[in-house]
Amino acid sequence: MSECPKSRHANKSKNDMVNLVDNVEQKEDLKFNRRAFLKSAVGASMALGLSTVPFSVRAMMGLTDDEEDRVEIIDLDQLPVGESHKFYYPTEKDQALLVHTVDGDLVAYNSECTHLMCPVFYQKEENKLLCPCHKGSYDVNSGQPIAGPPQRELPLIEIEVVNGKVYAVGRQFRHG
């Protein structure tokens, strides 16, 4: 009785098709097969998904860290109508300008010109924001460019007045 050359326990054959079955018998295949990979991938996906549940619940309940973004700028009585005050928001590198307009409104913007990042100043006489580098100017009430090379509006800093103190509470990047 002769052995079949294609049997599972056949000696090494010159035929490549017969040698392919040798790979199935290796112990590593039990650890690194498709089923084990899929189990690991599904398990990791579930673990990552479940790890975000506390953050989602916190956000749905409205428990956010609003105090973290709040920065005190100045006491309102220290900023007369028609004056401005320089401050930094949201970091110590981001210059900003709080303006108490001649109309009595409070507005705040990042004070770097959107053209070439030159500083922007409040000009009380004309009630506008002026960039002296290229004579660009912005509307003090909206931050929209009204003259010169700037094409984009200044980023708006959201402010809030609480107990006579002015706070920066957020920033809006507007395009339009």
Evaluate whether residue 163 is within a structural domain. Answer: yes
Single-letter amino acid, residue 13: S
Q: What is the pLDDT of residues 10-63, one digit of tens each?
A: 555 555 555 555 555 556 655 667 888 888 899 999 999 899 888 888 777 766
Evaluate whether residue 101 is within a structural domain. Answer: yes
Per the confidence metrics, is the pTM higher than 0.85? no
Whole-number Å distance between alpha carbons of 142 and 61: 33
Evaluate whether residue 61 is within a structural domain. Answer: no
The residue among 108, 132, 134 whose CA lies nearest residue 120 is 132
Evaluate whether residue 97 is within a structural domain. Answer: yes
* pLDDT score of 18: 53
Evaluate whether residue 107 is within a structural domain. Answer: yes
Evaluate whether residue 125 is within a structural domain. Answer: yes
DSSP 65: -
Whole-number Å distance between alpha carbons of 128 and 111: 13
Q: How many independent structural domains does the chain possess? A: 1
Range of the domain at 163: 67-172
Q: What is the pLDDT of residues 110-143, one digit of tens each?
A: 999 988 889 999 998 888 999 998 889 999 999 9
What CATH number is associated with residue 113? 2.102.10.10
Evaluate whether residue 152 is within a structural domain. Answer: yes
